[in-house]
Amino acid sequence: MSDFQNSTQPQRPGVVVTGASGRMGQMLIRLLLDSPDLRLVGALERTGHDWIGRDVGQAMGGAPVGVTVSDDAVAAIARAQAVIDFTAPAATVAFAELTAQARAVHVIGTTGFEPAHLDALRAAARHAPIIRAGNMSLGVNLLVGLTRKVAAALGTDWDIEVVEAHHRHKVDAPSGTALMLGEAAAEGRGASLDDLRTPAREGITGARAPGSIGFAAIRGGDVVGEHDVIFATEGERIVLRHLATDRAIFARGALRAALWGQDKGPGEYDMHDVLGL
């Protein structure tokens, strides 16, 4: 029964998905079409994309669902209560301004932001809730909390390395999740990641600086996401690991965030807030 046919039930919050043709966009759309709590009201793609003007269900190879793919972000977002966005930094910043104007929840899974992008998102969050996370899975966010606690418990004689692997199409490195883990480790040590971070090594680098946090990135095949946080000292190592085998875990987390944010005021939130961690 549709929302209009059953007037005794509150209407489910409407969600716009950006980057509708992408792997994450299509997964979000499928989950929204089956969701008892949220409904799909818009699907956005860049101007000139061959999905523009088509029913998104048919564009995805299925039956029509009554939502046409559009490049008109203003019109789509104006009728939404939430926007779920896994695109690119510049696009996300543009969507954030429109989402803030609509006073809708902006769920951001985009990674690779520069400081100027983050400043723009911070400004948008003064007008509407923004929920941003480098990874939206429950397991990864538990791993972040564990990393913080282990780093706080161990001294700087324990070296910390974050190793991550992703599919060949990923364009940023380290991953947003790896940076989340690095930030958690730095917080556990009472410092800023900017002060402790060691980028990928090459050539004659010399010995590592005490207390530093190193990163390594692997790209290949269809790896969904693998993250290790390695704590190493003389004679022993501790390895915290998360393996993702289905990117649906990220999409489900994003839908959970969109629903959680419906009664929240303006501000910046993350998945620790959503999950009550």
Is 201 inside any structural domain? yes
225 with 143, same domain: the answer is yes
Same domain, yes or no: 122 and 216: no
* 203 and 148 co-located in one domain: yes
Unique residue bearing structure tokens 């932001």: 113
Q: Would the pLDDT of 196 be above 70?
A: yes
pLDDT at residue number 201: 87
Q: Residue 212's domain is classified under what CATH number?
A: 3.30.360.10
Range of the domain at 18: 14-132+248-275
Diameter over CA atoms, the chain: 70
Classified as helix, coil or strand, 31 is helix
Query: Count H helices, E strands: the chain?
Result: 10, 12
Residue whose tokens read 């499928």: 30
CA distances from 146 to 138, 149, 241 (A): 12, 5, 10
d(CA 158, CA 163): 16
Calpha distance 222→145 (Å, rounded): 27
Active site residues: 166, 170
Binning pLDDT at 50, 70 and 90, where does residue 9 land?
A: low
By the 8 A CB rule, do 175 and 225 touch? Answer: yes
Separation of alpha carbons 240 and 140, rounded Å: 10
Q: pLDDT for 258-271, tens place per residue?
A: 999 999 999 999 99
85 and 148: one domain? no
Judge whether residue 186 has pLDDT over 80. Answer: yes
Same domain, 166 and 81: no
Q: What is the domain-level CATH number for residue 67?
A: 3.40.50.720
Q: Is 201 helix (H, G, I), strand (E, B) or coil?
A: coil
Same domain (yes/no): 104, 231: no
Residues 159, 51 share a domain: no
Once rounded to an integer, what is the mean pLDDT over residues 82-106? 98
Model confidence at 1: pLDDT above 90: no
The pTM of this model reads 0.80
Q: Which residues of 61-87 are buried (b: 16+ CB within 10 A; e: fewer)?
A: eeeebebbbbeebeebbeebbbbbbbb
Residues 69 and 198 in one domain: no
Q: How far is CA 252 from CA 39, 68, 140, 266, 267, in A?
A: 14, 23, 13, 23, 22
β-strand 159-166 against 225-233: which pairing, if any?
antiparallel
Euclidean distance between CA atoms 137 and 257, whole angstroms: 11
Count how many domains the chain has.
Answer: 2
Residues whose CB falls within 8 Å of the CB of residue 222, separated by 6 or more in sequence, listed in order? 167, 168
Q: Are residues 193 and 271 in the same domain?
A: no
Q: Is residue 115 part of a domain?
A: yes
* pLDDT mean over 169-187: 94
Specify if 2 maps to a domain. no
Distances in Å between the Cα of 262 and the Cα atoms of 28, 251, 257 are 18, 17, 9
Give 55's strand partners.
68
Q: Is residue 143 part of a domain?
A: yes
Task: Specify the pLDDT at position 4.
Answer: 42
> Is residue 102 domain-shared with residue 74, that is, in the same domain?
yes
Enter the tokens of residue 100.
């803030």
What confidence tens digit (pLDDT) does each residue in 32-63 have? 999 999 999 999 999 999 999 999 999 999 99
Is a pLDDT exceeding 60 seen at residue 29?
yes
How many degrees, rounded to 5, is the angle at CA 50 between CA 48 and CA 55? 120
Claim to verify: residue 20 and residue 115 sit in the same structural domain: yes
228, 122: one domain: no
Tell me whether strands 197-198 and 39-44 are parallel, antiparallel or unpaired.
unpaired
